């Protein structure tokens, strides 16, 4: 039985690493649409088309449950997919839910009216497409009131990470944090709204200062997935064996993935 994990590139490996450690008895099929990465600069219709193609490929692998370990896809495509595309025997979950659960300290199934929460000033760092979708602000507004969210589109960071240029990535992180602070000088919390960004969590924290609580997604998603599978064990699917698939060059993607996770990762052509 296998669960699918999808990302436009390699950032979702941060989620895969966390969920694999949390759920060692579950097989995972990771699908990286490296040929079309990054998604953060694409329009919503293009993101939707690419995401549905990838999810269909994971269903073909026997993954009845697919995690969109890509904030851009979660922001720009998931709601539309859930409303009109996903069949009743399949599930596709995004990565915003665990973040908002953690930040508002309320369960996703809690349908009580929005209420005030402790954190009032939140910095959101994300791709341009995620920022323009305003999906995070929309979902947060259903559950909390009085929260000021200042979003910063972090152009170039994903490309630098995918290229393995961590010096450039750090410089870009510092630049984007500076730009955010000009708009919101004293954020109480920061959301790393892209699954690539945990690879730069220390740099974000250093630039923001120790007084800012940084919410990163990987472990939050792992805990939420474990809870979901406890409640819906039938969604583990029929797939057998873990594997890594990519629409890009398997050798190149494998080398980058091995650098990311510091263990041997071998991708196959999707």
- Residue 137's contacts (CB-CB under 8 Å, 6 or more residues apart) are 124, 149, 151
Q: Tell me if residue 194 is catalytic.
A: yes
CA nearest to 260, candidates 6, 10, 4? 10
d(CA 61, CA 53): 13
* 150 DSSP β-pair partners: 123
CB burial class (10 A; 0-12, 13-18, 19+) of residue 174?
A: middle
Q: Tell me if residue 154 is catalytic.
A: no
Here the tokens at position 262 are 């510091």
Residue in 58, 63, 70, 220 annotated catalytic? 70
Alpha-carbon torsion, ordered 102, 107, 111, 116, to 10 deg: -40
User: E strand or H helix at 4, and its extent?
Assistant: strand 2-7
Answer whether 160's CB lies under 8 Å from 11's CB. no
Residue spans of alpha helices (H) in the chain: 13-22, 44-60, 71-76, 78-84, 96-104, 128-133, 135-141, 157-162, 166-183, 201-208, 217-231, 250-261
Return the number of other C-beta atoms located less than 10 Å from residue 24's C-beta: 7
Residue in 194, 218, 245, 257 annotated catalytic? 194
d(CA 7, CA 24): 21
Which residues does the annotation mark as catalytic? 70, 194
């Amino acid at each position: 039985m296998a669960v699918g994990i999808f990302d436009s590139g390699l950032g979702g490996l941060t989620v895969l690493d966390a969920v694999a450690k949390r759920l060692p008895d579950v097989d995972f099929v990771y699908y990286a649409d490296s040929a079309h990465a990054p998604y953060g600069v694409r329009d919503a219709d293009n993101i939707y088309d690419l995401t549905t193609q990838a999810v269909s490929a994971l269903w073909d692998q026997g993954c009845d449950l697919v995690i969109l370990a890509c904030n851009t896809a979660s922001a720009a495509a998931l709601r539309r997919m859930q409303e009109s595309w996903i069949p009743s025997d399949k599930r596709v979950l995004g990565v915003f839910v665990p973040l908002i659960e953690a930040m508002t300290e309320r369960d996703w199934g809690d349908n009580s009216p929005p209420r005030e929460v402790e954190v009032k000033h939140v910095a959101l760092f994300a791709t341009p497409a995620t920022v323009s979708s305003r999906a995070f602000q929309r979902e947060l507004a259903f559950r909390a009131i009085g929260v000021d969210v200042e979003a910063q589109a972090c152009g170039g960071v994903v490309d630098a990470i995918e290229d393995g240029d961590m010096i450039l990535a750090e410089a870009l992180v510092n630049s984007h944090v500076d730009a955010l602070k000009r708009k919101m000088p004293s954020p109480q919390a920061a959301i790393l709204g892209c699954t690539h960004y945990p690879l730069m969590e220390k740099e974000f924290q250093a630039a923001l200062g120790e007084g800012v609580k940084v919410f990163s997604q990987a472990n939050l998603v792992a805990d939420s997935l474990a809870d979901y599978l406890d409640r819906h064990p039938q969604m583990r699917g029929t797939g057998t064996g873990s594997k890594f698939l990519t629409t890009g060059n398997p050798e190149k993607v494998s080398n980058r993935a091995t650098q990311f996770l510091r263990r041997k990762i071998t991708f196959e052509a999707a």
